[in-house]
Structure 1
Amino acid sequence: MSAETYFQHPLYGLAMQHFQEGNWRAGLKEVERLIQLFPVEQELRSLRHELGFKARLDHFEFGDRAAEGRRRIRRLVLRVGAAAVIASLAYLALSTYSDWLGQQVTAGRERVEREIRIATTTAMQRDVEALMVAGRLAEAKSVVDEIGQLDPSFPGLTELSADLTAALDLSNQYDDAMQRIDSGDWLGAQSILQQLAAAVPNFRDINIQLTYIERRTMLDNLLGAGEASFAKGNWEQAVAAFETMRTVHPQHEPEYIEARLFDSYVNAARSVLIGQADSLAALQVAESHFRKALALRPQDPNIKRERELAGLYLKAQDDFDQSQWSEVIRALEIVIGADASYAQGTARQTLYDAFVARGDFQISVYQLDAALSDYERAAVLAEQDSGAVLRLYEAQIKVAEAQGASGNFEAAVLHYRAAAELGNLQARGAEDNPAMLSALQEAEGYAANGNFGVAYERYQRATRLADAKQVKKIHIVQEGEYLTLLASRYGSTVRAIALANDIENDNLIFAGQELLIPVLP
């Protein structure tokens, strides 16, 4: 499986190992190979620049040390030669001169030996400094120990030992941080590296490591937040976390994150509809989530269906506001065909009102057969909801009016009679509406004598008188409510609500408005 990001690539780990060992040139080669694999990563190019500089610095320092070593060797050879000459002279002197000359020769030899020792330890001191610069602290410590054995009183030995101890401490802290990174202890590693950065800003690759930790910490925080929200069913928070993670770290376990995000979208869409499936705002949020889920899995049939239904319902409500009745009917017949109780029954209510509204328009332009067809379809929808008495009552009256307009008075009377029974008009008229009762009695009398035309006119008059005595409830409009929603909740109709409140434009209701909602004929 290929690496997801450059800092997860094996070459990156190998480069880090070379850097920690001070082997800048080897690390630089690995970085060059990483740049070929990840050409757009600016951080890799910055790293290459920094390491190139350190490699050149290392080269120059070792070059200087080599030149200095050659000079020391020449001096040492000269001194050894001088010592040999002195020794030869001393040998000759011993054979010819006095004890005093022998003492002088001995003193000279000791002086030469001391100078040789000083030259040797000084060269070793420079080696220690070079090894410390290269990060080879274990070797540097061995050389310091050797200096102490050769010349315990060597000038600067105490300071050199202190510097080496400090460098070893920094190295140990760095190694501790690297071990914490390997074990996933990001905060512990970050704390150590930040302290190192404050003490020695350019120590090894601490800035690179801090950047890496920051990314991994962000990734872990996002993943943790997303998983916690997912487990608790906080779907909107889960969506936000996984969306951010997918944007910021697109290569981190993409299949897993996509699966989590898909499930979060679907659950967020469904949960927002719980208890408010007829809310346009909730349906808009749900449709948006379904659309995003489909973008991840375009062929998922269930989500495709749910998104399509939500989109059709929202479009139908918009078309209803624009009086595009045929568009409303076309969309909601698909929705009702898939789910008869969609949006808690408001889809069926809206379809009913669209049939009635289109029938009214067709009556106005004398398309009587088309109007009758729409009213009859509205009546069929009303019969599917036994609790919506007012809806079925209104549909029967609409069919009766269409039949009467076509001259089919006998059929019209039958529908008026059915409406009167649904609305219990006889009993209501006897209670408090004598004019309506009289009209009903006259209608029945004319119908009994076969005079269906006059009976039709009397029934029409009776039902209009009944409208003035409908049972109504008071409702204060809340934010996001609309007429078909209220009609569905109260078992009423848009026409009945509009008539009861003198509403000319069905769309012009507003939050805080007091409405009278007819609930019975």
Structure 2
Amino acid sequence: MEAIQEQGQMAPGQPETYLDHPLFRQAQQNAQKGEWQAGLDKMEKLMQAYPLEADLRALRQEMQLRARIDQDERRDIAQARKQRVRDLLMRMIIVAGLAVLALAVVRSYSAIFQEQIAVTRAKLEYQVREVEMAVKFRDAQDFLNAGRADTALALITEVAALDPNYPGLAELKAQAQRLQTLDVWYAEAMSLIEQGDTPKALAVLREIEREEPYYRDVKLQISNLESLTQLSAILAQADSAYEAGDWETAIAAYEELYLYHPDYQSVYVEERLFASYVKAAEARLRASDSLEAILAAEEYYRKSLALRPQDAETKAQQAQVRAMVEERLFLGYIQAAQAALAAEPDSLQALRLADQYFTEALKLRPNDAEIGLQRELAHRFIEAQEYFNQGNWTAVIDTLEFVYRQDKGYARGTARQSLYEAYVARGDGAMAIGDFDGALSDYRRAAVIAEEDPSSKLRLYEVQLKVAEAMGVLGEYQNAVLLYASAISMVDLQARAQDHSAAMATALADAERYASQGDYKAAFRSYREAVSWGTETFEIVEYTVVSGDYLSSLAIKFGSTVSLIAEANNLDDPNLIITGQVLLIPILP
């Protein structure tokens, strides 16, 4: 490669294939002229630049073989000529000797030998002519083998002038004329190539190949022209699509030429490809203002700038389109998130999808406070449900308190329901280990949450009973009794007790009597006994679980609670429900 560059025969950017390299064309010209050594020197330099090209190596070997054949033929011709010269000299010496002898004989015997001398001279002249014809015939053969048909024909004409019937002369003349015809055709093909008339040149070369498959480099020339014809067809297709405004088809064809045949009309192809990218982007934007169209236009501008990074106009257009892309993407993400939440605001799947959309929107506008909040709410709600499934009530409370403060009705009230259930569950755990103060604190917070949603009396009823029980355990019997009485009155439990449970009605009557007497401890015990039968007075709704259901969403849907649903269905793990499962859901009549 360095040797090639030192000679200045390579352009600064080396062609990808040796077929387009100037040295290769020069080597072809040397081969056509029979200048084998010059051609081999250039082939050696090409081999240094393209060491992995098997075809190039084969061409070099073929050229070496032809050079050796040519060299051997020339050596044979030279040796034959020397031999003919020696033979001629020998005959001339013989002739001279005979002449001298004849002269001596003439002088000695006078007229007796004159006739013999004439005969001998005639024989000698005949032999000289035969030698001359043989030499010219052999030279004609040598020139013909070397591909020099014109020189061979000239010698054949000279032989024919001496002896038209010379053995093998007619066949040799036919061969020379055939080769001369091929030479004319080949020259015509080369001229057509220079004129750019590839189809006619290819037709002539194929005719030569049919006549003589191994004539010069005809196979290589045909291969080159076939490749050129194919590229021309692709370019014609691209140009036709370009003129018709079919930019995508034009781009596909121009890209094939630009990427896989970079040396084929590179300037023209690059110019057309650049223009096609820009026009395709403009066409997309005119046709539609959808996000898909804007993204496609932005991609076309990106590709056009890859061809011409410094094109200021295209840069400005791309910047404008990128702004449009960002705006459309942002709005698209927000709309998609809102649509998901509007369809199923309490669905975990919808919330996860919304969380993803909000996250993508924040990547575009990281400082948008409102979207950041919406994403945070969705993320925390999903995270809280995972904690809920794990029974990590403290983590649920810490996570959902933030959501509840921002939006009390988030996820169609499911966030409130889950927060309520977490406080109740943590309170139940505290009661179980004797932490009655902690339990009372959690129950009271659950009661506040329940009171803020008056639509669910059953939830408020449940938590008031739990607060009352915790107070009673702590010795606050009077307050506990008041809460029991309030909860029972709220759901009209006493009236329904008359129809469903005599034992519950009796316990309620005892509790009221004890309370009227001021015996709040006894009243507390009676109320606690009475409410233990309270669930028997609830109505039961059957519900078949579908994909995406979870107990908190079902509790808010039916106005029940997770603990009541779990108790009614004997669920050891209230978080484990499966699609198709039939649940009994307690509700107030």
Q: 2:239 aligns with which of 157, 178, 182?
A: 178
Task: Describe the SS at the equivalent of 2:413.
Answer: helix
1:399 maps to amino acid: V
> C-alpha distance in 2, partners of 1:494/1:172?
74
- Do the aligned residues in 1 keep the contact of 2:541 with 2:584 (CA within 8 Å)? yes
Q: 2:543 aligns with which of 458, 461, 475?
A: 475
Q: Which residue number in structure 2 is paired with residue 353 of structure 1? A: 421
> C-alpha distance in 1, partners of 2:274/2:579?
48
> C-alpha distance in 2, partners of 1:453/1:178?
99
Cα deviation for residue 186 of structure 1 reads 2.8
Task: Describe the SS at the equivalent of 1:472.
Answer: strand
Task: Describe the SS at the equivalent of 1:468.
Answer: helix
**1:273 equivalenced with 2:341 (yes/no):** yes
Q: Which residue number in structure 2 is paired with residue 98 of structure 1? A: none
Q: Which residue number in structure 1 is paired with residue 129 of structure 2? A: none
Cα deviation for residue 360 of structure 1 reads 0.8
Identity %: 35
**1:388 equivalenced with 2:451 (yes/no):** no
Q: Which residue number in structure 1 is paired with residue 351 of structure 2? A: 283
Distance 1:192 1:514, change over 3 A: closer
Task: Describe the SS at the equivalent of 1:473.
Answer: strand
**1:410 equivalenced with 2:478 (yes/no):** yes
Distance 1:459 1:220, change over 3 A: farther
Q: Which residue number in structure 2 is paired with residue 420 of structure 1? A: 488
> C-alpha distance in 2, partners of 1:338/1:262?
23
Query: Where does 1:343-382 land on structure 2 (aligned, <5 Å)?
Result: 343-382=411-450
1:518 maps to amino acid: P
Q: Which residue number in structure 2 is paired with residue 293 of structure 1? A: 361
> C-alpha distance in 2, partners of 1:464/1:239?
65
> C-alpha distance in 2, partners of 1:215/1:352?
64
- Do the aligned residues in 1 keep the contact of 2:18 with 2:24 (CA within 8 Å)? no
Q: 1:320 aligns with which of 388, 399, 402?
A: 388
**1:433 equivalenced with 2:501 (yes/no):** yes
Task: Describe the SS at the equivalent of 2:16.
Answer: helix
> C-alpha distance in 2, partners of 1:245/1:195?
18
Cα deviation for residue 345 of structure 1 reads 0.5
Q: 1:132 aligns with which of 189, 192, 195?
A: 195
**TM-score scaled to structure 2, two decimals?**
0.55
Distance 1:127 1:503, change over 3 A: closer
Q: 1:306 aligns with which of 332, 350, 374?
A: 374
- Do the aligned residues in 1 keep the contact of 2:242 with 2:250 (CA within 8 Å)? yes
Task: Describe the SS at the equivalent of 1:274.
Answer: helix
Distance 1:215 1:331, change over 3 A: farther
Cα deviation for residue 181 of structure 1 reads 3.0
> C-alpha distance in 2, partners of 1:273/1:265?
12
Could you give the per-residue CA deviations for residues 12-39 of structure 1, whole angstroms, max 9, x where no partner exists?
xxxxxxxxxxxxx9xx77xx5xxxxxxx
Task: Describe the SS at the equivalent of 2:412.
Answer: helix
Q: 2:528 aligns with which of 440, 450, 460?
A: 460
- Do the aligned residues in 2 keep the contact of 1:319 with 1:327 (CA within 8 Å)? yes
- Do the aligned residues in 2 keep the contact of 1:239 with 1:265 (CA within 8 Å)? no
1:281 maps to amino acid: Q
Q: Which residue number in structure 2 is paired with residue 140 of structure 1? A: none
- Do the aligned residues in 2 keep the contact of 1:180 with 1:188 (CA within 8 Å)? yes
Could you give the per-residue CA deviations for residues 340-370 of structure 1, whole angstroms, max 9, x where no partner exists?
1111100000000001011111111222222
Distance 1:290 1:413, change over 3 A: same
> C-alpha distance in 2, partners of 1:502/1:454?
31
Distance 1:418 1:205, change over 3 A: farther
> C-alpha distance in 2, partners of 1:195/1:271?
42
Could you give the per-residue CA deviations for residues 260-300 of structure 1, whole angstroms, max 9, x where no partner exists?
33333222222222221111111112212222222333222
Cα deviation for residue 52 of structure 1 reads 8.4
Cα deviation for residue 420 of structure 1 reads 0.4
> C-alpha distance in 2, partners of 1:350/1:375?
14
1:287 maps to amino acid: D
Distance 1:255 1:190, change over 3 A: closer
1:317 maps to amino acid: Q
Distance 1:59 1:460, change over 3 A: same
Unaligned runs of 5+ in 2: 1-7, 34-183, 199-227, 307-317
1:437 maps to amino acid: A
1:384 maps to amino acid: E
**TM-score scaled to structure 1, two decimals?**
0.61
1:516 maps to amino acid: L
Task: Describe the SS at the equivalent of 2:587.
Answer: strand
1:405 maps to amino acid: V
> C-alpha distance in 2, partners of 1:347/1:132?
82
Could you give the per-residue CA deviations for residues 377-418 of structure 1, whole angstroms, max 9, x where no partner exists?
111111121210100100110110011010000000011011
> C-alpha distance in 2, partners of 1:310/1:126?
76
**How many pairs does the alignment contain?**
381
**1:329 equivalenced with 2:390 (yes/no):** no
- Do the aligned residues in 1 keep the contact of 2:248 with 2:280 (CA within 8 Å)? no
- Do the aligned residues in 1 keep the contact of 2:242 with 2:276 (CA within 8 Å)? no
Cα deviation for residue 486 of structure 1 reads 0.6
> C-alpha distance in 1, partners of 2:389/2:274?
52
Distance 1:386 1:51, change over 3 A: farther
Q: Which residue number in structure 1 is paired with residue 517 of structure 2? A: 449
**1:338 equivalenced with 2:401 (yes/no):** no
Q: Which residue number in structure 2 is paired with residue 49 of structure 1? A: 16
Q: Which residue number in structure 1 is paired with residue 158 of structure 2? A: none
1:362 maps to amino acid: A
Q: Which residue number in structure 2 is paired with residue 489 of structure 1? A: 557
Unaligned runs of 5+ in 1: 1-24, 33-44, 67-120, 136-166, 232-237
